[in-house]
Amino acid sequence: MAATKKISLTEDDLVRALRGHETIAIQALYDMYSGALLGVILRIVQQSEIAEDLLQETFIKIWNSADSYDSSKGRLFTWMINVARNIAIDKLRSKDFRNSHKNQDIENNVDFIDSQKKITFNADTLGLRDMVTALKPEFNDVLNMVYFKGYTHVEAAEELNLPLGTVKTRIRMAIMELRKHFN
Amino acid sequence: MEESKAYIETGILELYVLGQLNAQEQHEVEAMALRVPDIKAEINAIEIAMEEYAVSHAIQPTLGLEKEIFERIAAPETTQPSAPAAAENTGKIVPLYDDRSASTIKTLKFALVACVALLVVSSVALYSAHDKLNLANQQIASLSTDREKFAATVSYIKDENKDLQEIAAIAADPTWSSVKLAGTKISPQATMMVYWHKKGQHVMVDNTKMALPENDNTHQYQLWAMVNGKPVDLGVFDAQTQPKKLLLPMKEVGNAQAFAVTLEKRGGSVTPTMEKMVVVGAVSI
């Protein structure tokens, strides 16, 4: 994406600035990752207005709980994605969200996957999606349920009526495919 | 090496990166990662893959969202949430808070205008009340004067009434003698009535039945009793068109054959000036 003005820092610098509560850190994080985080959140909650609210909350949470990030346990961006996913999944499972979006109850989410893709996958990702689905659609489905739909892997196993071991394997295989693709 | 490979192949590291493990399992993975560099590297590779996956699904947020977030971050630390639920709350509260402060200012403006209006109305009302109070005070003062006048009048009328009753009682009482004094040569028109209670020695001059020429400031009339041919002073009095008392008590006398009035210098004389005698009358037995 064309972004000459956007701020980009190394991960170490970012972590240091974030811990020091320097606003440049949150600006850099926003410039670098807001799109990816919104993509994850939107795929979970399905509504762009709610998704943007949750994106705000995500950045506030990242800002306020920077101290709880431990770089020895994982990458900063992964931590941020997990913050965003947790906020979105909490919202998805909250009573008010479920009451106002009855047709998006957890039970129905699997039926939505295809239609959701139509709505939210942008042109940039078509190639990727084609790649993933072409290779192993069933692997990809399990990964997406967990990564984008708010399922736990146990719930995904129940939903797909598969042994837990199979679900774990499929997730691993899907990620292996991704690694191959991105490397 | 074989051990770590088997561990990696269980798929637990993927679940770790996806946040699918419970706290204990997470600690185990983290402990393994610290000990075994291969595992650490594997986790890192999975993380990068998932990050790339997320980036490949990126959707650019609406312009302006960034500004909102920075404003919230720059705002006072009071909006600092710790739990996701709290974060969710502040997400809704912060704009509401702004709205509320704006509406509070608006309310305060209205209140200020209302206060000024109230002040003006109050001032007018106070001024008008002040005027009315002045008027009322004047009325009270004049009513009070009137009341005093009436009280004086009532008191005067009471005294007069008392005297009249006494006159009536004297007229009806046989122990009182009424002595009519007739005019002399120098004042043939003059006439006057004296009441005498012989036993009690009381002498009263009846102002209602007095018809004497008014005396001036240097002279007074003096009443005399003729006791065995000698004049006895019974005191002085004034002849006025508006007498203060109807019944005038004089000095006492127990035995008198006649009463006479002479005009003397103010304060009276020791002996009567006979040529200035205006009325005289004998006591009728």
**3-state secondary structure string across chain B:** CHHHHHHHHCCHHHHHHCCCCCHHHHHHHHHHHHHCHHHHHHHHHHHHHHHHHHHHCCCCCCCCHHHHHHHHHHCCHHHCCCCHHHHHHHHHHHHHHHHHHHHHHHHHHHHHHHHHHHHHHHHHHHHHHHHHHHHHHHHHHHHHHHHHHHHHHHHHHHHHHHHHHHHHHHHHCCCEEEEEEEECCCCCCCEEEEEEECCCCEEEEEEEEEECCCCCCCEEEEEEEEECCEEEEEEEECCCCCCCCCEEECCCCCCCCEEEEEEEECCCCCCCCHHHEEEEEECCC
Contact between chains at B73 and A63 (C-beta distance less than 8 A): yes
pLDDT for position B167? 84
CATH number of A105-183: 1.10.10.10
A172 reaches B (C-beta below 8 A): yes
Q: Please tell me the distance from the alpha carbon of residue A176 to that of residue A183, in angstroms, as a whole number.
A: 10
Amino acid at A109: N
Summarised one tens digit per residue, pLDDT across range B178-191 is: 888 888 888 888 88
Number of A–B residue contacts, CB under 8 Å = 158
Q: What average pLDDT values come out for chain B (285 residues) when binned by 10 residues?
A: 81 88 88 89 90 86 82 63 46 44 79 94 94 93 93 89 86 84 86 87 85 86 89 88 80 87 89 86 79
User: Which CATH code, of 1.20.1250.20, 3.50.50.60, 1.10.1740.10, 2.10.10.90, is assigned to A9-102?
Assistant: 1.10.1740.10
Per the CB < 8 A criterion, the answer to whether B203 and B252 are in contact is: yes
pTM of the model: 0.49
For B83, the closest chain A residue by CA position comes to A61
More confident residue, B248 or A100: B248
Domain boundary assignment for chain B:
2-59, 77-172, 174-282
- The answer to whether the Cβ–Cβ distance between B68 and A56 falls below 8 Å is yes
Of A40, A63, A172, the CB nearest to B54: A40
Residue B227 phi, psi dihedral angles, 5° rounding: -110, 110
Residue B167 neighbours by CB under 8 Å, 6+ apart: B195, B206, B208, B246, B247
Confidence (pLDDT) at B159: 87
Residue that wins the pLDDT comparison between A111 and A62: A62
- What residue segments make up the domains of chain A, in order of their start? 9-102, 105-183
Q: Name the closest residue on chain A to residue B32, using Cα atoms.
A: A73
Closest CA in chain A for residue B78: A64
Q: Which of A103-112, A117-126, B102-111, B131-140 has the lowest mean pLDDT?
A: A117-126
Q: Which residue has the higher pLDDT, A163 or A137?
A: A163
Fold matches, A9-102 and A105-183:
no
ipTM greater than 0.85:
no
Say whether A85 and B19 touch across the interface (CB within 8 A): yes
Of the candidates B12, B20, B84, the beta carbon closest to that of A87 is on B84
> Which of A104, A102, A84, A94 minimizes the C-alpha distance to A38?
A84
List CB contacts (< 8 A) between B65 and chain A.
34, 52, 55-56
Give the per-residue pLDDT at A123. Answer: 42
H, E, C per residue of B155-222: HHHHHHHHHHHHHHHHHHCCCEEEEEEEECCCCCCCEEEEEEECCCCEEEEEEEEEECCCCCCCEEEE
Q: Quick check: A3 pLDDT over 60? A: no
Q: How far is CA B88 from CA A57, A58, B78, B283, in A?
A: 6, 9, 14, 126
Q: Judge contact between B225 and B174, C-beta under 8 A.
A: no
Please answer yes or no on whether B60 and A178 come within 8 Å at the CB atom.
no
More confident residue, A163 or B208: A163
* List of chain A residues whose C-beta atoms are within 8 Å of the C-beta of residue B80: 64
* pLDDT tens digits, one per residue of A47-76: 888 899 999 999 988 888 888 888 888 888
Asked if pLDDT for residue A6 goes beyond 70, the answer is: no
Q: What is the pLDDT of residue B77?
A: 52
Q: How far apart are CA A143 and CA B90, in angstroms?
A: 32
A78 vs B20, B51, B91: nearest CB:
B51
